[in-house]
Structure 1
Amino acid sequence: MLFGTNLQYANSYNNRIVLEIIRLHGPVSRMDISRRTHLTVQTVTNITKKLEKSGLILEHSRQISGRGAPAAQLKINEDAAYSIGIDFDKDHLTAVMLNMNGKICYEMSRDLDFPSPEEALDLMSSTVTDIIQDQKVSKKKIWGVGIGLPGPMDPTKDKMQSDDMFNPDALPGWDHTPVLRYLKDRLGLPIITENNASAAAIGEHWYGKGKHINSFFFLYFGAGLGGGLVIRGQLYSGHTGNAGELGYFPSSLRADNGHRFEHDHLGGYFNMPLLKQKMINAGYPASSQKDLASRFDESNPILMEWLKTGTEQLVPLIAAVEYLIDPEVIFLGGRLPENILAWMRQRILDALPPHRIPRKSVRPELEIASSGIDAAALGVATLPLYTILAPVPELLMKQDLRHADHFGPNS
């Protein structure tokens, strides 16, 4: 879509660009910001004065550089704002609180057993309230709450304004559940919903290894399988908002997935609740990710069969991602322990060569994401900050003109 602009939007965009440079490269001088952004030093000075006055940045130190007064070094004020993220699926709820620099101030996780919408919404609400009280943070500093949900999500619904967006196959009984309205009414905070996998990609882009990577694909292992795509530094959602939904890709093998699909799908091979139940029924502790890591170290036969079959199905699809998207990096991440992800990475690397053409000399790296098993919670916690601060024209154009030149939850 093509957008026109005006001076007010241009000013707000420049504010975001300067803040993003400070976030990525700080402590940094105004002169260095000017070089990186191609804005004049005077423009940068005016913007940084405004950011300092709002409390979003601080003067870190002064660095002597040639003659004259030492140059002030600017950095993000990490206590200026906070956001909370809740990653929810049928088998778990994970919550984190981030400060403005992406530092995790609080985290918790608990196992669930297919809760009803009423039970889950009450738990989400009480969790957010408990976090704010526990951390003794002013509610005015909480810029919002991100809620991660299994995809795909309804493309006709606004993730910040509308309910009724949930996939009945992933969350039976949740269609027409007023998640946004309920949480807004209970908490009095901005609420944003997002596909878990896309949220994990945003978190990796803002605070993980993807911070300085222009384009990458995030392969997300949650209760099932999903994917998130960052292109040119921005989340790419596709026409319907569900780009990267690899779990619904048809598979040629028969899957024991417990779902009502006419054809078998790749996500059926990564059904984590089903895996855990099989292991528990066989007498193997498997309730937590720590349990899974231990069972892997023991070469548990049920787990190893699950991994080998699923990874075999992934290989040709990863090759397709290479050729269709041409990312710099493909990340493996989500709720699988790191020792399992490392095993999968090596097995995929060993199996990929027959799927590649020799003439393609530059290939994407295959790496383990740095966001760990809380990737989706970290990602959805990033969303309120990302929506308000990221220098993305599409986000800026959604803002009310009255607030376009200001930062904060009413921006």
Structure 2
Amino acid sequence: MTGDVHAAVVRAHRTEWARIVAGLTRRFGDLDVAEEAAAEAFATAVERWPADGVPPSPGAWLTTTANRKAIDRIRRELKRDDKQREARMMYDDDPPEPVGAIDDERLRLIFTCCHPALAMESRVALTLRMVGGLTMPEIARAFLVQEAAMGQRITRAKAKIKAARIPYRVPSVDDLPRRVSGVLAVLYLVFNEGYLASGEDTDPVRQELTAEAIRLTRLIRGLLPDDGEVAGLLALMLLTEARRAARVSAGQLVTLAEQDRGAWDAELIAEGHRVVRERLSSGVAPGRYQILAAINAVHTSAPDVRDTDWGQIVALYDQLVRIDSSPIVALNRAVAVAELDGPEVALAAVDRLGDRLDRYHAYHATRAELLRRLGRSAPARDAYDRAISLAGNTAETAYLTRRRDQLRP
């Protein structure tokens, strides 16, 4: 029996090692973690298989075990700094190292990683990977790129840090304004992943991510009380989080138009509206997050979807387009235009975005809904199919499937 198990492990190592390491590297963006997790998985096989028997699919067993080992290792790494600091406080007579302007350990790490010497997308992606708790597939989906491309981007960022000897030092008070835009981008993406998770193997809504993003944004507002974009992001998160309880029902996504507004959190909405009003009264030209917060304030001010001031929302999107010309902003503006000027006008605007958003499930979902409203069932069904194939969130997939299946032949 032992000889048979040994032979099975050797065969698995010969055929599966490279595949497992490659898969883990794509997912977690770290070759060292991948190789160590794979080695631990094979070591576990040597220990477990003699007693449990060789599994029917050794490769699948090893892949699953290696994934768990990698996740455990990353979690240990995230907790290590806290444990080391606690140990120094208990057993070290030397005074603790200064923590700089930021008391919170997680927020301090995010500010430290968002080094201005790196390009904005690189610093955000690297920070999401190292501190934000998002996996490589989640980060890639957030940036609408392939996992391999995102892995290369993070690898290049690490290489630049090493080659340029960029210091990972605790930021001072003077550092915060230069780094805050990257930090806000990180927290915004973490919040979005929590509010509508992109992976198939996670809960549709991950409250631990939205709650942590809000907590850290509140801390930043305390550090930078006059920064309008910090206040704008906090208001945006509060007004979005207020709708979380109505977001999913019976395993399916519930769109804004269909949500039970009585289930919204009135306290969070009141706080979000208050922050928006404060920023509007400041007289300072609003930035991206402030405009997005104002759009959400309009939505959450309407007691019924029929009371929504779509003209004001389109005007706010027009203002946003001038400072953020991304195709996603244009797509969201088209959704509002559909309510103001009709689905045909909106569809023409959406179709112009196809080259840049073909891999974005919300693009195809939006097209499907507009085509549905125009009575064009066949192309609507095709658009739903494409959206379903790209959507990772189980609640969103269930919703899109239901909408597709309701189409008339």
Instruction: Specify which structure has the higher proportion of strand.
Output: 1
Q: Which has the larger radius of gyration?
A: 2
Instruction: Specify which structure has the higher proportion of helix.
Output: 2
**TM exceeds 0.5?**
no
Normalised by the length of structure 1, the TM-score is 0.29
Higher relative contact order (CA 8 A, sep 6+): 1
